Amino acid sequence: MPRRSGARTSSSAAPQRSAAPAAQAPPPAATPPPPAPAPAAAAPAPAPAVGGGGGMLSGLMGSMASGMATGVGMSMANRAVDAVMGPRQTEVVHRHEGAPAAAAAAPAAAAPAKCQFQQDQLTQCMQSSSDTSSCQSFLDSLKACQQTA
């Protein structure tokens, strides 16, 4: 960078004149400025695009990455809120618990006791006979017993 004749940038650039008498020795000769640094090599040109856009999968992968980043951000925010406010508690309430379920189970348990004889007859027929159509009457009587129970 060349020096300007009228402006000074720092105290080390040139000796300052003092108000001393003229009998002093003349100032030393000015040294030539150091050579300017060589200009940096020009940046190489960017490489041309090979794929031409990436296609459908690049958009899909970008969406997946965005979704994962959003999920991580939300989980971090939830943890921060839990740290400040305390952990959240959730309670599940089932509406149809208790008496109706117990009342429905009682007839189902009583039905096999009432129809045990028909069940035993059908089982014995199925084990002794290779023809299942001969046991149809026992099956019909078992179904009728279960419907009335």
Q: Is 31 helix (H, G, I), strand (E, B) or coil?
A: coil
pTM (two decimals):
0.27
How far is 122 from 82, CA to CA, in rounded Å? 62
**Lowest-confidence region among 29-38, 51-60, 122-131:** 29-38
How far is 118 from 114, CA to CA, in rounded Å? 9
At position 40, the amino acid (one-letter code) is: A
CA angle, corner 78, sides to 74 and 83, nearest 5? 150
Q: What is the pLDDT of residues 60-110, one digit of tens each?
A: 888 899 999 999 999 999 889 888 888 888 888 878 766 555 555 555 555
Q: What is the pLDDT of residues 112-121, one digit of tens each?
A: 578 888 888 8
Q: Kindly state the tokens that stand for 132.
A: 């299942």
